[in-house]
A = this chain, B = another copy of it.
Amino acid sequence: MVKSTLDKQVSSRLGEDDVRYTAGRREVVFALSEADGPRSAAELSEDLGPSVPLSSLYRTLAVLEASDILTPHFSSPGVTRYELAEWLNGHHHHLVCVACGQVEDVETDDEVERRLQAIVSGITKRSSFIESNHALEIEGKCQNCQ
């Protein structure tokens, strides 16, 4: 079996934490790498079918988050969606549909990202808050819901 670059990165990262990269975890990582935005446990469970039971899925998501493979997102009420962490997936932002709740990734070019970072730095400069990350969430309606 040929391991993809992603698989190698994840495997290596998990190895540092003495966490095993098992079949179920691999399936979850793969499903998320195929997705075009953050996915909830329920959505992933639909993608994955019964091969990964919900209780295992939730634990897998927690484990992968703890090792910084996944990042959680909270853009809709009562559900946590996960996506591959930025170091695996690249820095990007989100289009959040206020009608159906779906979240889609959008990339920005470096120039835009520099301008955005400048804005963020300007905002936090005068405060006692220490920034670790920023997220530009754009709310509106996706193509399906217009």
- List A residues at the B interface (Cβ < 8 Å): 72, 74-78, 80, 93, 95, 97-98, 104, 106, 108, 112, 115-116, 119-120, 122-124, 127-143, 146
Which chain B positions have C-beta within 8 A of A120? 136, 138
User: Hey, which chain B residues are within 8 Å of A143, CB to CB?
Assistant: 128-129
Query: How many copies are assembled?
Result: 2
Q: Which of B72, B128, B140 contacts A77 (CB 8 A)?
A: B72
A129 touches which of B76, B78, B95, B115 (Cβ 8 Å): B95
Given contacts A128-B142, A133-B138, 10 further A-B pairs with CB under 8 A are A74-B76, A95-B127, A104-B129, A123-B136, A128-B143, A129-B138, A133-B140, A135-B137, A135-B139, A136-B136
